[in-house]
Structure 1
Amino acid sequence: MARIYHDALIYLSLTAVEPPATFLRRMPEVNDTVPKTTCCIIGGGPAGIMLGFLLARAGVSVTVLEKHKDFFRDFRGDTIHPSTLELLYELGLLDKFLEIRHSRITQASACIGDYAVTIADFSHLPTHAKYIALMPQWDFLDFIASEAAKLPTFTLRMGWEATDLLQNGGVTRGVIARTPDGTVKIPATLTVGCDGRHATSREAGHLPLIESGVPIDVLWLRLPRHDSDPENGLGYVNYARLMVLINRIDYFQVAYIIEKGTFPQLQQAGLKDFQESMARIVPFLADRVGEIDSWDKVKLLTVQVNRLTHWSSPGLLCIGDAAHAMSPVGGIGINIALQDAVATANILSEALYFNSLTPHHLRQVQQYREKAVRRTQAFQVFAHRILNRVLHSSGPVHAPLILRFVTHIPGFRHVMARLIGMGIQPEHIAAHRHAAHPGAG
């Protein structure tokens, strides 16, 4: 009864038209207040753009804030897994999406020392696209944003950076944002933080975070690709190192795994040692590692695995990396974020459309998604332990007998394909009877 009474009070405050004047007086100086939106989304990454699209598709007024002026960031994930391609199919967009230049992974393979093994075979998945599509993430974001822009209730603000939350009495009422024309207030019934692992939304909302120790970091670089090079996803493990090659058709996006905190030592050892290390791990790259002739061509990605104890507070919800940073293991971070976005839209669209949102709705998102997220993170933490052993080995690596045995068990590749390609809890697009435009279901 106490919880119901509390939620009822919060609901009344969420639906109030204007905050008290005393609240407005203590806000930072602003130049303007933009019209109120039903949902303000902080962050134009995969979760933010997809959530904005799905809410607008359901007739909800939504504004997405992206602090950069474009989506072009080379350190973002490239893997569009079968679960995400299935979402695009359900939206009627798959064929159009696949017109964008991309490559495909039909099998995921690894070379452990001199032992080559297929880890996953996606050809048996119960999806329309039985492969992982590889394309720069900015192409994916541009595509979803362009489709969302066709909807009358969708607004994307590029170059608008959220700097704080509008709050009163423990309730988030919108966002304060820095824009090219000055600072503005954006009143909103609901604010959703999709602003990544260094989330302003999470910090401003004082949501507590639990960190899991991670023993690895990733160096991100690109090397030329030749037509004769392997096409499928390949990880190479040898000499206390792991490299993953992502086929971007004209070049490889390379993830070079290192022990956490050791990048300065690598730099001190020099570029020549780094080049020789890459050539030793992946011999067919020996004729092109010289392309990395400056440390400016190598980006350090600090790996984190963490999660919020509470994804929400009244008027505020965090999803994707803002709620639970994922490791690059399996390349599944983007797809987990997209699954969060779909579940959020499915759960909240009706309440937002009819202005009946309560904190209970926000807690439902975490209750529904948290188990899948925590299980996925547990799998990644287990993988980190194995990687840590590799990074502390010496000399050539030899595939253990248990691995040789397990990978030949009938059905192993199909099980791994389902885990990697679809995840523990794949989501599906819900139809919304109240949507006010064609094609919303």
Structure 2
Amino acid sequence: MNKEVVIVGGGPAGMLMGLLLAKENVNVTVLEKNKSLSRDFRGETIAPGSVYLLKKLGVFPALEEHGFIKVRKIKMYDREDKLFSVNFDELDHPQKYGIDMPQPVVLEALKEKALDYPNFQYIEGATFTDLIKEDRKVVGVRYKESGHELEVRTKLVIGAEGRYSRLQTLGNFQVKKKEFSRDLIWFKVPKPADWEEGNLIKVHKHDHVIILPTYPDFLRVGTYISLGGNRETKKKGISTFIDKVCAIEPKLRIPMEEHITSWDDTTLLKIFTAHVDDWANDGLILIGDSAHTLSPILGQGVNIAMQDAFELLPYVTNGLKTHSEALPANLFHRFIEERKKQVSFVSNFQARQEQNLSASSPLQCTIRKVKMKLLDKAPFKNKVMKKLQYGVVANETMEV
């Protein structure tokens, strides 16, 4: 089988890339190893900039039909003392809210839109196994489907596998990985009555929780434990864990005691960043978490990944017009250079926030409180948050 482009991975970056290419009449195949799009605690928050892109692509009506939560605010508290807040209504952009909804709904909407085009193919249960190379150029992929070994020849392979990318290894990419000093435990509980709107970060001394509204009427809550401390945390029992969270946010006690009855009701997420030095080889390019795994702070990974796809599109379509064989890596140098600037901006912002959140001594906690209150009043606050929340469409003003 021959295709102009093969995308490995049917997550947000891969599925959006497939739709974008299909709309441009490119013969494209998306290989997804899972037979279901179902996934939990995966990029459920879509930032305003990515919502804007989904509207431009005509995908949004399907999301509206399902339903979602509008997210208009981000707030940070030291228990009940407000340190920092952002209201998207105050940002100079026509898209005034992000959304929270199950990621499978977004992926299904992208897939169904792409399937309207006869040049789009989606293969589920397709496990990528190897790259096909000729003269050091990538010219295709091998994969397994229903026990059969198959291959696709192509001018370009786009790696969108996510944070545990085999293409990083098979493509001989150099990866700089940094583990954080803590791991993150997530859980979901029903939203208490009269819960305030917005994404919340609450700190108290050396601890904090991240609390995100989750469709239809739940909260997604994350709290940190020491790196590799999962076993030790579990030894202390689920009640001790509940006490730890509720010391920061007492309103969570009743829903936690009713719904978090064992460790099976929680999910451990390893926290690390991984940045590939150069995202492209001849015939191969990485995007999304495969190229740059970010911290979960402010949920930027899915949005950066989707914007990678949006920005990559013209480089691919132009390259296909001018090259009859594998697209050379140098076609993508400018794309990589520009995307690295945005990724670096987000990554550095996250690193500063991680430093604030990991404050441990009384002095560090006091400095954190002062810094965040000063930032809240800073004249450049909205400019920074606009760049963070809208990315590549920050300066677009067209209503959609």
State the aligned residue count.
391
For 2:349, the equivalent position in structure 1 comes to 379
**Structure 1 residues 97 and 355, CA, compared in 2 at 3 Å: closer, same or farther?**
farther
Give distance in 1, aligned partners of 2:78 and 2:90.
25
Q: What does residue range 282-293 of structure 1 map to in structure 2 within 5 Å?
A: 282-290=249-257, 291-293=259-261
Q: Is residue 245 of structure 2 the alignment partner of residue 278 of structure 1? A: yes
Residue type of the partner of 1:192?
I
Give distance in 1, aligned partners of 2:22 and 2:373.
49
Q: Is residue 372 of structure 2 the alignment partner of residue 403 of structure 1? A: yes
Residue type of the partner of 2:300?
I
Give distance in 2, aligned partners of 1:382 and 1:400.
14
Q: Is residue 194 of structure 2 the alignment partner of residue 224 of structure 1? A: no
For 2:229, the equivalent position in structure 1 comes to 262
CA contact (8 A) 2:279 2:291 kept: yes
Secondary structure of 2:186 counterpart: strand
For 2:336, the equivalent position in structure 1 comes to 366
Q: What does residue range 144-163 of structure 1 map to in structure 2 within 5 Å?
A: 144-163=110-129
Superposition TM-score, scaled by structure 1 size: 0.83
For 1:17, the equivalent position in structure 2 comes to none
CA contact (8 A) 1:259 1:388 kept: no
| Unaligned segments of structure 2, at least 5 residues | none
Give distance in 2, aligned partners of 1:321 and 1:52.
17
Residue type of the partner of 1:253?
R
Give distance in 2, aligned partners of 1:396 and 1:386.
8
Give distance in 2, aligned partners of 1:193 and 1:56.
17
For 1:343, the equivalent position in structure 2 comes to 311
Deviations 1:132-176 (A, max 9, x none): 111111111111111111111111111111121112231111111
Residue type of the partner of 2:343?
V
Give distance in 1, aligned partners of 2:383 and 2:394.
18
Secondary structure of 1:281 counterpart: coil
Secondary structure of 2:82 counterpart: strand
Residue type of the partner of 1:174?
G
For 1:240, the equivalent position in structure 2 comes to 206
Deviations 1:102-144 (A, max 9, x none): 1111111122133124421111334332011111111111111
CA contact (8 A) 1:121 1:417 kept: no
**Structure 1 residues 404 and 377, CA, compared in 2 at 3 Å: closer, same or farther?**
closer
CA contact (8 A) 1:82 1:127 kept: no
Q: Is residue 13 of structure 2 the alignment partner of residue 47 of structure 1? A: yes
Q: Is residue 289 of structure 2 the alignment partner of residue 321 of structure 1? A: yes
Q: What does residue range 18-417 of structure 1 map to in structure 2 within 5 Å?
A: 35-248=1-214, 249-290=216-257, 291-353=259-321, 355-356=323-324, 357-389=327-359, 392-393=360-361, 400-410=369-379, 412=381, 414-417=382-385
CA contact (8 A) 2:132 2:141 kept: yes
Deviations 1:318-348 (A, max 9, x none): 1111011111112111110011111111221
Larger radius of gyration: 1
The partner residue of 1:418 within 382, 386, 393 is: 386
Give distance in 1, aligned partners of 2:120 and 2:321.
13
Deviations 1:44-69 (A, max 9, x none): 11110011110111111110011111
Secondary structure of 2:162 counterpart: coil
Give distance in 1, aligned partners of 2:93 and 2:182.
33
CA contact (8 A) 1:342 1:427 kept: no
CA contact (8 A) 1:177 1:184 kept: yes
| Unaligned segments of structure 1, at least 5 residues | 1-34, 430-441
CA contact (8 A) 2:159 2:290 kept: yes
- After TM superposition, give the deviation of residue 403 of structure 1 in Å: 2.7
Secondary structure of 1:69 counterpart: coil
Superposition TM-score, scaled by structure 2 size: 0.91
Residue type of the partner of 1:421?
Q
Greater mean deviation of Cα atoms: 289-298 or 209-218: 209-218
Give distance in 2, aligned partners of 1:178 and 1:220.
33
Deviations 1:194-250 (A, max 9, x none): 001210111111111112342232112111113422221111112422211221232
Aligned Cα RMSD in Å?
A: 2.3
Deviations 1:334-391 (A, max 9, x none): 11001111111122112225545333213333123112212221222222222222xx
CA contact (8 A) 2:83 2:369 kept: no
